Chain A
């Protein structure tokens, strides 16, 4: 896979950089890392980060420092679907521990692991701001809320079926 944004994406990059004052293009770093992660396989490999550094004319280490600070950036490969289940206080009160245990036994993986088929990664996370709709998980761009074992079953079959096609 060659590490290069499409022309359309490069236009978007310029548009994002233009949101910030001249010479402050480093401000576009987090938005660009989001774009890069979405484009280049769901995680940020060193060459990807170097590419972003090049686009913003900053040092690679500045990108590494930022990418490893924020929890949404994966610096290691993850499965196709990242199941990020919240386990902080309010979700715990509503049974998030049981949901995490259920996913573990259902997929046969531990926290932070990926299924052998590369489809699912389970990542318990801290508060995502959906405390009133607990237990919940983040899946891609969206939240799945009021989770039950049945909902987890349905979700996993749906995603597995999609991958089969």
Chain B
């Protein structure tokens, strides 16, 4: 029974405009699609990306977010931020093969009965023309042959880098970097120049996460959690300021953590390690330059074939075993308890989100702070190409002139502007003749 009743449409309607349109449409007995499930909201800006993702993952055929026209928001332009968030989400949905037309983002088009009815009927008609969404079935797919990146041995640090590290130590800093050991490169805290003999570089190691933890430990005065306890305890015991010898992505991750108030930005000190072209190629990195340097070439466009994207990601997600290592490794995941597996969010007894919902929600949670370091992808035991999701989000934001780790205000939460509305400056009143006294 594939009647239109089965095609459910979640409608989030702002109570200041489209909810009034919806009520009047009912009062006027206007024909409306049967699948509409109307949810009044106090502002369209309260609709989180999570809510939209939840709706799609649980079988909604379409989601409509209806708010006041841009510039007419009753909540100081909160809907402008929402617009950026939803457009970014739409780009992410396309990347996994969900047609962006399934997410109706509409401002100021549904506040009268006729408008609302037309908007919703057109939307339902458009949904009918779209090919069916692929079911997100938990089919088991074998791990791909693609090798999972493993730590290589690295190379002994070149004299220049060693010199910079020695200089930092001489100026009283403790250098966090990688040290050669019998187990391969391990993170270590260098306090003396003699120790620098063991310094290695050229290894992809998520130092940004560790350095962030150390700085956070110093703020809270205690080592919390379960990772790198010995090193972090010694780092907490040592009073010296920290200098981190790391790559550009780690530096960006640390800057984003500071922007998220995890520790004061003044405590950040870097010894920049440039990535070799081979490393850049191995990571598939699109941003090897250091924060503030001229950006590298434009990234290639993502595949836009929705059916292919959908088929591919269905396979990829079906391999996910929900170990959540991607989250554990992420340097910019700073929440004390992750909302994605907390009972506080998920009512007790409910299933954790499906892999599709989980990964989409995670990508949107870190949308504007993700530095595309690829730590999530590197640790994935099932080899999911997770970086591609984050790149889709980053590309969407880059089109709005935003890039993470550069100290810019995120367009997803930037509407609270207090600037001069008109930008009128005082005119220069100059005498037409004579000289100034």
* A and B co-occur in one complex: no
Q: Measuring CB to CB, which residues of chain A are less than 8 angstroms from any residue of chain B?
A: none
